[in-house]
Amino acid sequence: MTEITVAALQLALTDDIQTNIDHVSALVEDAASQGAQIILPPELFEGHYFCATEDEGCFARAKPTAEHPAILAMQKLAKRLKVTIPTSFFEKDGPHYYNSLATINPDGEIMGVYRKSHIPDGPGYEEKFYFRPGNTGFKVWDCYGIKIGVGICWDQWYPETARAMMLMGAELLFFPTAIGNEPHDPDLDTSRLWRRAMIGHAVSNVVPVIASNRIGAEGDLCFYGHSFITDQRGDLVQAFGKTESGVLVSRFDIEQIRKHRAAFGFFRDRRPDLYQRISEDK
């Protein structure tokens, strides 16, 4: 298979996990009815974005992968619809807590778990209080004979994330997200920057990028949506604004994209012998 249809979901979320699962499931069904084979919900769709404040009671939300209600629900849905669903969730692993993602295949099986590598810490996004830095390394998965890479929210701002997954063979990049206004600076609208950062990944790696965000107000945070799908040229082929709820669906010819990537020569002309400074921790 060289053609693949992908989808991104955008919606407002409540703080009731079953309500959210129901709403996400309805959109997954909608996307599947339009032919989508890989369907991306937003980051941590199980509830409100609890990382806006530091509250030790929120650790009770986390569950092991095999017991998490969102994972169990998406497994059943993926199997019934015969689709792949990269599913973000709050993971508990013994005494450790991670912002994680399980990629669920059309048989309802978990192909693997990725744990968010870059953990933000700032006003409204105090994730270091809750999550350990991921220890899985970046991940790619074979879906329908096409490799996909998935980063989680803050990962998407780092060009190293996209390039690492591309070097691992990724041919589509997915980024589930929970991002909105900046409480410390009401005049700062990062939605444009957010899109540009990922569009840059598309252009410099000649790869489609699929980004899914939530919308709506949750406490002091107002999530700005703007979910999108861009092609390998960095052109937006599907996009939402800040208030729409629904699905974005696009189809890509991966074989054609492979030809474009080879022709650009970005991977031919790499000079890793000059890049040691990037991996130095100072």
Q: How many percent of the chain have pLDDT more than 90?
A: 95
Q: What is the CA radius of gyration of the chain?
A: 18
CA distance 271 to 281: 20
Is 116 a catalytic site residue?
yes
What is the structure's pLDDT at 82? Answer: 98
Q: Tens of pLDDT along 101-117?
A: 999 999 999 999 999 99
What is the structure's pLDDT at 1? Answer: 60
Active-site option among 46, 139, 153, 171? 153
Q: What is the mean pLDDT of residues 219-240?
A: 97
Active-site option among 46, 116, 143, 218? 116
What is the structure's pLDDT at 184? Answer: 86
Q: Indicate whether 262 pLDDT > 70.
A: yes
Is 43 a catalytic site residue?
yes
**Band of residue 228 on the pLDDT scale cut at 50, 70, 90:** very high
β-strand pairing of 3-12 with 125-126: unpaired
CA distance 177 to 169: 23
Q: Indicate whether 259 pLDDT > 80.
A: yes
Q: What is the mean pLDDT of residues 157-162?
A: 97
As assigned by CATH, the class of the 3-279 domain is alpha beta
- Domain ranges for the chain: 3-279
Q: Considering only CA atoms, which of 12, 17, 18, 105 is closest in space to residue 58? A: 17
Higher pLDDT, 41 or 182: 41
End-to-end Cα, the chain, rounded Å: 44
What is the structure's pLDDT at 187? Answer: 83
Q: Tens of pLDDT along 50-89?
A: 999 999 999 999 999 999 999 999 999 999 999 999 999 9
**Assigned token pair, 31:** 């996307």
Please report the sign of the dihedral spanned by the C-alpha atoms of residue 170, residue 173, residue 176, residue 181.
positive
What is the structure's pLDDT at 235? Answer: 98
The answer to whether the beta carbons of residues 76 and 87 sit under 8 Å apart is no
**Assigned token pair, 237:** 């082929």
Q: Indicate whether 185 pLDDT > 90.
A: no
What is the structure's pLDDT at 265? Answer: 96
Q: How many percent of the chain have pLDDT more than 70?
A: 100
Please report the sign of the dihedral spanned by the C-alpha atoms of residue 156, residue 160, residue 166, residue 168.
negative
